[in-house]
Amino acid sequence: MIKVENITKHFGEDEILKGISTTFERGKTNLIIGRSGSGKTVMLKCLVGLFLPNSGEIFFEDKALGEMNNEEQRILREETGMLFQGGALFDSMNIEDNVMFPLRMFSDKSRPELLARVNEVLKRVDLENVNKKFPSEISGGMKKRVSIARAIVNKPKYLFCDEPNSGLDPKTATLIDNLIQDITKENNITTVVVTHDMNSVMEIGEKIVFLKNGKLVWQGTKQEIFKTNNEDVTDFVYSSDLFKKIRNIQIEEN
């Protein structure tokens, strides 16, 4: 479980996060949603330690991130996997080496042993026979799957995903969403996904945190998000024609 207590983050005069408090539960896919510029990615980067919050605290299983010593931080890094928006695969390495990279950093096992684990996770994300290809030689959807494989290769306790299905066709996007949810359940990990895609909310949103202008304005489940009267949330949810039509049908049926 990850607990966030009253974190703020500003860059110069711009206050991006304004005192956010919430919890992200273990074994669930937790979603941070909101419009572009609402502070979702900054919050995610605070969670993974890429940005330091200006105030507030983040707890990983009751241990404050700001109070961890170097060894505790190293262990936390080993327990953390992240899927970046563009994949962030290392261009100079082939797929096999990309996925093996976190293992090599934390393990002294021999290459054949590491390779066995790499092949296992590549198989888990339905990618086989791509080991020797380079990131530039595979499709966007495959890059995302390789990135998931790299994120889970160390059997993390925490998985963070930044817009995992941006730039993908709807079918591949659903596939990636389901893969993230399945991995979360299989390994009982705490997964935090940043998205503005309502399809993802429908597919995998077990706990949803809604941000607007750096503030947390609503949190709940995917069932609750369609029933809430919070104007900001309804504005966001029903901004697409499809969801407007669904709502109108529901109203007519009621």
Partner 1 sequence: MKYLRDIGSYFLMLKKVFSSPTKRSVMRELIFKEIDDLIIRSLGIVAFISFFIGGVIAIQTALNLDNPLIPKTLIGFATRQSMILEFAPTFMSIILAGRAGSFITSTIGSMRVTEQIDALEVIGVNSLNYLVFPKIIAMLFFPFIIVISMFLGMLGGYLAGVYGGFSTSADFIAGLQNTFYPFHLVYAFFKTFLFAFLLATVPSWHGFYMKGGSLEVGKASTKAFVWTSILIILTNYIVTQLLLSQ
Q: Which residues bind partner 1 (CB under 8 A)?
A: 45, 48-50, 73-74, 77-78, 80, 82, 84-86, 88-92, 101-102, 104-106, 160
List Cα–Cα distances, 197 to 23, 25, 35, 194, 215, in angstroms.
Answer: 21, 21, 10, 9, 19
Beta bridge partners of 192: 30, 160
- Tell me how far, at minimum, the Cβ of 117 lies from partner 1, in Å: 15
Nearer to partner 1, 18 or 77 (CB): 77
DSSP state for residue 136 in the 8-state scheme: G
Residue 159 or 225 having the CB closest to partner 1: 159
Q: At what angle do helices 95-106 and 140-152 cross, to 10 degrees?
A: 20
Please state whether beta strands 63-64 and 55-60 pair in parallel, antiparallel, or not at all (unpaired). antiparallel
CA distance linking residue 204 with residue 159, whole number of Å: 14
Q: Smallest gap, in angstroms, from Cβ of residue 107 to partner 1?
A: 10
DSSP H or E run through 247: helix 241-253
Min dist. Cβ of residue 6 to partner 1 (A): 24
Cβ-based nearer residue to partner 1, 93 or 202: 93
* Minimum distance from residue 130 beta carbon to partner 1 (Å): 19
Strand-strand pairing, 29-33 and 190-195: parallel
Rounded to a whole number of angstroms, the minimum distance from the CB of residue 28 to partner 1 is: 21
CB-nearer residue toward partner 1: 62 or 91: 91
> Under DSSP, is residue 6 helix (H, G, I), strand (E, B) or coil?
strand
Strand 158-162 versus strand 80-83 pairing type: parallel
Q: Which of 13, 71 has the CB closer to partner 1?
A: 71
d(C-alpha 193, C-alpha 32), whole Å? 6
In angstroms, what is the minimal distance from the CB of 84 to partner 1? 5
* Closer CB to partner 1, 19 or 140, in the complex: 140
Angle between helices 140-152 and 170-187 (to 10 degrees): 10
